[in-house]
Amino acid sequence: MALILLLFLVITWLFLQRGETGSMEREMDALRTQVRDLDGELLRLRSTAGTEQSAVQMERSTQQQLTSRIKVLELENIALKEDMRLFERLLPLAGNETVIRLESFRVVPDGPQRYHYRALLAFQSGKRAPEFRGRLQILVVFSAAGKRQEMLLPVKREDAEGFQLEVRNFLRKEGAFEIPAGSKLESVEARVLQGDTLKARRMAQL
């Protein structure tokens, strides 16, 4: 009887693992399709921009719009390829111990004194924890008038909901923040907490 029960548990575990891996593989295929489509659009836009740059009748505003669109698509392409690399690392690891990771954290300028951040989280689930629940915290360090200052996001209590995390396989979190006029950004750190326990942290690539 004990042997039959053990066999049943093993079969059930293998079935669940196969289902999780299959779900991740489907998401991986979707990412590959998005990257191919984006590569095609980038190629078309670059070709258009290169051809029309030499045309005397091309309006300056049209050229600026094309250039801006290409830059946006290039950033999206980089983000998607980061996601693909993440999946490639996760697929062979399905079924190991539970762990939450900050795979990447990037911060880029998004206007005068305004910055856009993007965090990519990966959760490797275990038998007892099919998903991770916690919260994201962003520590912004800047200097103003020669003094070091800090800003912790979320700043307002009503914004806290947007920093809650529910991760089954991977999750992308994006947002923006502003620092005071005349100040200089020094560093940005992302933290993943569960309750008051720090689970992961990563400094941004500025």
Number of folded domains in the chain?
2
Regarding whether 75 and 122 lie in a shared domain, the answer is no
Regarding whether 133 and 183 lie in a shared domain, the answer is yes
Residue 145 and residue 182: Cα distance in Å, rounded? 8
Regarding whether 102 and 35 lie in a shared domain, the answer is no
Regarding whether 186 and 109 lie in a shared domain, the answer is yes
pLDDT reported for residue 38: 67
Q: Which two tokens stand for residue 181?
A: 């006029």
pLDDT reported for residue 146: 87
Contact indicator for 191, 197 with CB cutoff of 8 Å: no
Regarding whether 112 and 75 lie in a shared domain, the answer is no
Regarding whether 103 and 180 lie in a shared domain, the answer is yes
Residue reference for tokens 């989280």: 121
Residues 6+ apart with CB under 8 A from 115: 107, 108, 109, 176, 177, 178, 179, 185, 188
Q: What is the CATH number of the domain that holds 197?
A: 2.60.40
Task: Identify the CA nearest to 76 among candidates 42, 121, 110, 99.
Answer: 42
Helices 60-90, 2-53: axis angle to 10 degrees equals: 160
Residue 171 and residue 121: Cα distance in Å, rounded? 5
Last residue of a domain, one of 89, 106, 138: 89
Regarding whether 125 and 150 lie in a shared domain, the answer is yes
Q: Which two tokens stand for residue 185?
A: 């950004």
Regarding whether 189 and 105 lie in a shared domain, the answer is yes
Regarding whether 44 and 112 lie in a shared domain, the answer is no
Residue 72 and residue 205: Cα distance in Å, rounded? 18
pTM higher than 0.85 for the full model? no
Regarding whether 117 and 75 lie in a shared domain, the answer is no
pLDDT reported for residue 185: 95
Last residue of a domain, one of 89, 118, 149: 89
Taking residue 83's Cβ as centre, other Cβ atoms within 10 Å add up to: 21
User: Measured between alpha carbons, how far is residue 139 from residues 2, 7, 148, 151, 195 in Å?
Assistant: 52, 49, 13, 6, 17
Contact indicator for 192, 165 with CB cutoff of 8 Å: yes
Regarding whether 190 and 121 lie in a shared domain, the answer is yes
What is the secondary structure of 92-117 as a DSSP string?
A: GGTTS--EEEEEEEEEEE-STTEEEE
Last residue of a domain, one of 56, 71, 89: 89
Task: Tell me, rounded to whole angstroms, the distance of Cα 170 from its chain centroid.
Answer: 8
- In tens digits, what is the pLDDT along the chain, a chain of 206 residues? 433 333 333 334 333 444 444 555 666 666 667 667 767 776 777 676 655 555 544 566 666 666 666 766 777 777 777 767 766 665 555 555 678 889 889 898 888 899 999 998 888 776 667 789 999 999 999 999 889 999 999 998 889 999 999 988 788 899 999 999 999 999 999 999 999 999 999 999 77
pLDDT reported for residue 32: 67
Regarding whether 113 and 72 lie in a shared domain, the answer is no
Q: 171 lies in which domain range?
A: 97-203
